[in-house]
Structure 1
Amino acid sequence: MNPRRIVAALPVLLLFALSACSNAAPSGYVPPSSTTPSGSGHGAVTGASEVAEPQLHLVAVDGTGNVGMLDLLGNSETKLGTVAPPSSTVSDGRYVFATTSKGVEIVDSGVWTWDHGDHFHYYRSTPALLGTVVGGGAPAVSTSTLSTAGGTGLFFPESGEAVLLDNASLSRGEIRERFRIKLPPHRGLVVPVGDGAIVTTPDAEGKPAALQYYTAEGKPLEGAQADCSDGQGSIVTRIGAVVGCADGAVLITGQGDAPALEKVPYPDAASAMAAVKFDARKGRPTVAGMGGPSGVWLLSTRQRSWTWLPTPIPMVRASAVDDEQGHIVTLDDEGRVHVYIAKTGQEAGVTEPLLPKTTLTSSSLDSVSLTVDAQRAYLNAPTDGLVYEIDFADRARIARTLTPSVQPVFIAETGR
Structure 2
Amino acid sequence: MLHPSRPSQSSRPPRPARRRRLPVLFPSAAAVLAVLTGCAAPVSDAPAADEPTVDTHGEIAGAEELAEPAVGLTSIDPAGRVSHLDLLDESTVDLGTVRAPAVVHTDGRYLFAADAAGVSIVDSGVWTWDHVDHFHYYRAQPALLGDVAGEGVATVATSNSSTTGGTGLFFPASGEAVLLDTEAMSTGELVESFRLERTPGAGLVVPVGSFAAVASGDEVTVHTADGDEVAVHTADGAEAGEGVRCVAPQGTITTRVGAVIGCEDGALLLHVEEEQPVVERIPYPDGVDAPRATAFANREGRPRVAALAGTSGIWMLDTRDRTWTLLAAPEPLVQVTAVDDADANVLGLTPDGRVLVIDGENGAARAASLPLVGASLTAGDAVTLVADQQRAYLNGPAEQRLWEIDFADAARIAREFAPERVPAFVAQTGR
Q: Same fold (TM over 0.5)?
A: yes
Kept in 2, the 8 Å contact 1:12–1:53? The answer is no
1:236-291 deviations in whole A, cap 9, x for unaligned?
00100000111110000115751111110111121110000000000000000123
Unaligned runs of 5+ in 2: 1-28, 44-53, 232-240
1:113–1:122 CA contact under 8 A, matched in 2: yes
Contact 1:152–1:164 at 8 Å: present in 2 too?
yes
Shift of 1:8: 0.7
- For residues 228 and 361 of structure 1, the distance between their equivalents in structure 2, rounded to whole angstroms, comes to 34
Take 1:191 and 1:255, find their aligned partners in 2: how far apart are those partners?
A: 17
SS of equivalent to 2:389: coil
Asked whether the equivalents of residues 9 and 53 of structure 1 are also in contact (C-alpha less than 8 Å), the reply is yes
Which aligned pairs between 1:33-182 and structure 2 lie closer than 5 A?
Answer: 41-182=56-197
Equivalent position SS for 2:127: strand
- When the two structures are aligned, how many residues end up with a matched partner? 384
TM-score for both structures, normalised by structure 2? 0.86
Matched, 1:243 2:261: yes
Match of 1:8? 36
TM-score normalised over the length of structure 1 = 0.89
Give the counterpart letter for 2:72 in structure 1: H
Residues 329 and 338, structure 1, Cα contact 8 Å, conserved in 2: yes
Equivalent-residue separation in structure 2 for 1:290 and 1:142 (angstroms): 19
Determine the structure 1 residue equivalent to 2:305.
Answer: 287
| Aligned 8 A contact 2:116 2:151 in 1 | no
Any unmatched runs of 5+ in structure 1? 16-38, 203-208
Letter in 2 for 1:97: F
One-letter code aligned to 1:378: Y
1:375 to 2:390 alignment? yes
Matched, 1:389 2:404: yes
Kept in 1, the 8 Å contact 2:351–2:374? The answer is: no
Query: 1:49 and 1:40, CA in 2 relative to 1: closer, same or farther beyond 3 A?
Result: farther
2:380 maps to 1:363: yes
The equivalent of 2:46 in structure 1 is none
Kindly provide the amino acid, as one letter, of the partner of residue 380 in structure 2: S
Q: CA deviation at 1:130?
A: 0.3
> What is the aligned partner in structure 2 of residue 352 from structure 1?
370
* 2:344 maps to 1:317: no
What is the rounded CA distance, in whole Å, between the counterparts of 1:90 and 1:125 in structure 2? 20
Q: 1:14 to 1:379 in 2, by over 3 A?
A: closer
**2:279 is equivalent to residue 264 of structure 1:** no
- Residue matched to 1:212: 221
Q: Residue 211 of structure 1 aligns to which amino acid in structure 2?
A: V
Residues 255, 13 of structure 1: CA spacing in aligned structure 2 closer, same or farther, 3 A cutoff? Answer: closer
Alpha-carbon contact 1:250-1:261 (below 8 Å) kept:
yes
**Do 2:249 and 2:261's aligned partners in 1 also have CA atoms closer than 8 Å?**
yes
AA partner of residue 384 (structure 1): E
Matched-pair identity in %:
48
- Cα offset for 1:312? 3.3
Preserved CA contact (<8 Å) 1:275 1:290: yes
Distance 1:212 1:257 in 2: 16
Counterpart Cα distance in 2 of 1:90 and 1:74: 25
Which residue of structure 2 lines up, in the alignment, with residue 35 of structure 1? none
Q: Give, in angstroms, the shift of residue 101 of structure 1.
A: 4.6
Q: C-alpha distance in 1, partners of 2:250/2:166? A: 19
* Counterpart AA for 2:223: Y
Q: Secondary structure at the match of 1:11?
A: coil
In the TM superposition, residue 81 of structure 1 has moved relative to its aligned partner by 0.4
Greater RCO, CA 8 A, separation 6+: 2
How far apart are 1:401 and its partner, in Å?
0.7
Distance 2:154 2:363 in 1: 35
CA contact under 8 A between 1:58 and 1:411: conserved in structure 2? yes
- The aligned amino acid for 2:342 is E
The DSSP-based 3-state class of the residue aligned with 1:273 is coil
- Check the 8 A contact 2:359/2:366 in 1, yes or no: yes
- Cα offsets for 1:122-171 (capped at 9, x unmatched): 00000000000001100100011000011110000010100000110010
Structure 1: distance between partners of 2:186 and 2:354: 37
Name the SS of the counterpart of 2:314 in structure 1. Answer: strand
Q: What's the counterpart of residue 322 of structure 2? A: 304
